[in-house]
């Protein structure tokens, strides 16, 4: 993710941790007095108990999307999610206290701490929500362009007010297109009035969102602005990627892929990633064995056919392999031999299949694919050769998703709902390309935890 988003996340996590720990400390002193609180902290594992409570609260806040402001539309929803998150956290703590009484902080402390923490977190989050969404606060930008690139960039900024950008206006030769799609947009002049507009509006950043740059393009003006250091100039493709977490295919040019490509893969990194993936897969196989055995029995009882389903998929660098899943469809799902997209409420899915797809249990056998080195834990989902051939003809840059090993989960899976069409594949490719370019341990860990959240809430199942 971008440094801006990472820094904001770190600050929010730190603030929440301080508030949660501070709320519990205040409750301790209020309920037990100075001596009682001091005894709990120094003689009764008090700091460890506070750390455990804070960790569970932070995990619950994450699962209720309180670190993703794209899903929160107003303060009422913010308050509701906060109540749900803290209620879930304290419910989990109550279970821990029941089975491990020695972890209790003290009589009545939990009630006081949840009230104090709730009030302080609600105050903080309301302030953050107001601050990041205020139209007069944030980095002022001007968008140069009027086509689809400029419109999509503007819409992305308007949808992500928490990103800290405010559109001051547009530099374009076709303001009618902008105004027709974005009522209330401000016209700052044509491309030759750029410098005057910067001085009048005190612009912090210029976004160049032009598909075609031949002809009237003020190279000298932009160079002068860039060298002055007063205003940042950013190419529209990179800016859109940074703010949305995906690569816009209509903005993409081969030069962008060449000059802003991913980091060089060293042999050491490849070996380490392979070892980590295999260790995780082995652990996953062992831990999921009871669920896998139960699933196998239910599949046999529910419908005729094999327990496992094997299907040819395209892997890294176009190599073919057999992906393994628990069978979730009827044996005659493709009786005519022609590949068919899976669709919502697909009548080919068995009763057990519908459940195991919902909770992703059908994917458990793919731990074996990871052990064999055919897949990774995180990466673009592997597709069937028939669909790959079709999509490569219809979607530009589609073959680049095979530069990395396919994954059990991926950036596209957590960011885009399950789809079964060419347009869905196009949308997902934008996220896959973002992942390929920005692949890192931090991003992989984030995708892993987001996947757990999706499974728990049953989102995106097909």
Please tell me whether residue 320 adopts helix, strand or coil conformation.
Answer: strand
User: Whole-model pTM?
Assistant: 0.73
Average pLDDT over residues 166-185: 87
Distances (CA, A) of 117 to 37, 46, 74, 96: 17, 17, 21, 19
Better-scored residue on pLDDT, 376 or 243: 376
Better-scored residue on pLDDT, 292 or 450: 292
Where is mean pLDDT largest: 2-6, 53-57, 197-201, 246-250? 53-57
Provide the pLDDT for residue 1: 44
> DSSP readout, 124-164?
HHHHHHHHHH-TTSSEEEEEE--SHHHHHHHHHHHH-GGG-
Distances (CA, A) of 180 to 154, 176, 184, 247, 256: 13, 6, 9, 25, 30
Average pLDDT over residues 258-281: 80
Provide the pLDDT for residue 69: 59
Residue 60 pLDDT > 80: yes
User: Is the Cβ–Cβ distance between 112 and 27 less than 8 Å?
Assistant: yes
Asked which of 59-63, 342-346, 353-357, 430-434 is least confident by mean pLDDT, the reply is 342-346
Provide the pLDDT for residue 369: 96
Which backbone phi and psi does 313 adopt, to 5 degrees?
-130, 165
Residue 257 pLDDT > 70: no
Could you tell me the pLDDT band of residue 70, with boundaries at 50, 70 and 90? Answer: low
- Give buried/exposed letters for 316-355 (b at 16+ CB in 10 A, else e): beeeebebbbbbbbbeebeeeeeeeeeeeebebbbebbeb
Share of the chain above pLDDT 90, in %: 26
Residue 318 is encoded by which pair of tokens? 């176009």
Provide the pLDDT for residue 215: 52
The number of CA neighbours under 13 Å toward the Cβ of 396 is 9
Strands (E), 261-344: 308-314, 320-326
Residue 380 pLDDT > 90: yes
> DSSP readout, 18-76?
HHHHHHHHHHHHHHHHHHHHHHHHHHS-HHHHHHHHHHHHHHHHHHTTTT-GGG--SHH
Average pLDDT over residues 198-219: 75
Better-scored residue on pLDDT, 331 or 284: 284
Residue 237 pLDDT > 60: yes
Average pLDDT score over the chain? 83
Asked which of 10-14, 160-164, 172-176, 311-315 is least confident by mean pLDDT, the reply is 160-164
| Closest CA relative to residue 145, chosen from 157, 137, 136, 154 | 154
Q: What is the pLDDT of residues 292-331, one digit of tens each?
A: 999 999 999 988 889 999 999 999 999 999 999 999 988 7
Could you tell me the pLDDT band of residue 345, with boundaries at 50, 70 and 90? Answer: low
Residue 7 pLDDT > 50: yes
Sign of the four-CA dihedral 392, 348, 345, 369: negative
């Amino acid at each position: 993710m971008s440094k801006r988003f990472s820094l904001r996340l770190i600050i929010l996590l730190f603030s929440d941790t301080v508030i949660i720990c501070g709320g519990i400390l205040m409750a301790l002193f209020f309920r037990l007095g100075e001596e009682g609180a001091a005894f709990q902290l120094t003689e009764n594992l008090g700091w460890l108990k506070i750390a455990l409570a804070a960790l569970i609260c932070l995990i619950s806040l994450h699962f209720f999307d309180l670190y993703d402001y794209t899903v929160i539309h107003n303060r009422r929803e913010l308050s509701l999610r906060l109540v749900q998150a803290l209620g879930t956290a304290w419910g989990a703590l109550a279970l821990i206290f029941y089975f491990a009484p020695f972890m209790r902080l003290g009589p009545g402390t939990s009630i006081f701490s949840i009230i104090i923490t709730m009030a302080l977190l609600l105050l903080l989050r309301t302030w953050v929500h107001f601050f990041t969404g205020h139209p007069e606060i944030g980095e002022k930008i001007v968008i140069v362009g009027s086509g689809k690139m400029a419109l999509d960039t503007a819409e992305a900024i308007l949808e992500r007010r928490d990103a800290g950008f405010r559109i001051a206006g547009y530099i374009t030769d076709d303001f009618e297109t902008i105004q027709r799609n974005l009522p209330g947009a401000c016209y700052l002049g044509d491309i030759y009035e750029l410098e005057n507009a910067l001085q009048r509006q005190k612009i912090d950043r210029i976004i160049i969102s032009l598909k075609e740059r031949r002809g009237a393009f003020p190279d000298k003006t932009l160079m002068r602005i860039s060298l002055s250091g007063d205003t940042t100039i950013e190419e529209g493709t990179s800016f859109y990627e940074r703010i949305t977490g995906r690569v816009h295919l209509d903005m993409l040019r081969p030069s962008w892929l060449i000059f802003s490509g991913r980091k060089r893969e060293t042999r050491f990194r490849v070996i380490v990633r392979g070892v980590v993936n295999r260790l995780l897969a082995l652990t996953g196989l062992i831990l999921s064995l009871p669920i896998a055995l139960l699933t196998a029995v239910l599949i046999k009882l529910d419908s005729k056919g094999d327990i496992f389903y094997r299907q040819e998929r395209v892997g890294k660098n176009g190599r073919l392999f057999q992906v393994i899943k628990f069978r979730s469809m009827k044996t005659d799902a493709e009786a005519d031999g022609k590949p068919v997209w899976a669709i919502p409420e697909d009548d080919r899915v068995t009763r057990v299949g519908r459940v195991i797809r919902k909770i992703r249990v059908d994917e458990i056998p793919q731990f074996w694919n990871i052990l064999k080195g055919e897949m990774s834990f995180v990466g673009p989902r592997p597709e069937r050769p028939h669909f790959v051939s079709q999509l490569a003809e219809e979607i530009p840059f589609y073959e680049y998703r095979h530069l990395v090993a396919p994954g059990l989960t991926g950036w596209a899976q957590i960011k885009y709902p399950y789809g079964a069409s060419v347009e869905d594949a196009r949308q997902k490719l934008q996220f896959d390309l973002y992942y390929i370019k920005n692949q890192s341990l931090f991003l992989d860990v984030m995708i892993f935890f987001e996947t757990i959240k999706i499974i728990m809430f049953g989102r995106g199942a097909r």
